Amino acid sequence: MAVDTEYGEDAQRIERDYVRPESTSPEEIEEDLENADFANPEEISEWILSEEDVGGAALDPHSEGVTTREQIESDVEQADGVGYSESRREEVTDAIARDVGAPSESDLQQAQLQAITSGEQVTPEGGSTSVSVVTNQSGEPVAAVGGGSSAGPKVAEEQGVPHYSSPQQFNDSMSAKPAPDGSRALLYANGDAIGEVNL
């Protein structure tokens, strides 16, 4: 909610002094203000950044590939309102990233590379270019990745792998879900669980 910026300094002071860092929903913020005996906690809570103020990828995570923490940070920066200290932005970003399972870009790229390079390297019969056969968390082959348009499909056929893709196509096929403990994102490729990444 947009509020006259003259309240910005007061909102940041109230947030710093009375709102717990882990309180990132409007209801949690209101509860903290009620416990501090503010007469109008609902009105004051509208000055303080909450998850509800953030749009973009936070509202529709993973609709186009894996949503990253950097996307959430950008959405938080664009949230409407005042009283948004840097620490509050970080707290809300952390909460949303845990809620939707949004890893950092660098951690996601490392996990994607590990998924490909840890697969069994298979060369098709009569060929010389190896292809990575990626398995799911149950050890079943789910994708043949790399090797070009000649070797890749051959390995997929020979190994009975349901999907062939280039490394970029494989990465683009990924989606993510938050782990129950909120510390990791579970990674999926073509619907199969293939790994995880810390948040």
Q: What is the pLDDT of residues 143-161, one digit of tens each?
A: 999 988 888 889 999 989 9
Six-digit token string for 50: 């909450």
- Band the pLDDT of 137: cuts 50, 70, 90: confident
Pairing of strands 184-189, 192-198: antiparallel
In whole angstroms, what is the distance from residue 152 CA to residue 133 CA?
9
Six-digit token string for 47: 């000055």
How many Cα atoms occupy the beta-carbon half-sphere of 168 within 13 Å?
1
Q: Is the pLDDT of residue 8 over 60?
A: no
Return all residues near 165 (Cβ < 8 A) that are at least 6 apart: 143, 144, 145, 152, 173
Whole-number pLDDT of residue 2: 37
Whole-number pLDDT of residue 43: 86
Q: Answer with the residue of higher pLDDT: 118 or 64.
A: 118
Percent of the chain with pLDDT over 90: 46
Which sequence spans correspond to the domains of the chain? 5-100, 105-198
**Mapped to the 3 state alphabet, what secondary structure does 126-159 carry?**
CCCCCEEEEECCCCCEEEEECCHHHHHHHHHHHH
Q: For residue range 21-74, what is the model confidence (pLDDT) as tens digits?
A: 999 999 999 999 999 998 888 888 888 889 988 887 677 766 677 899 999 999
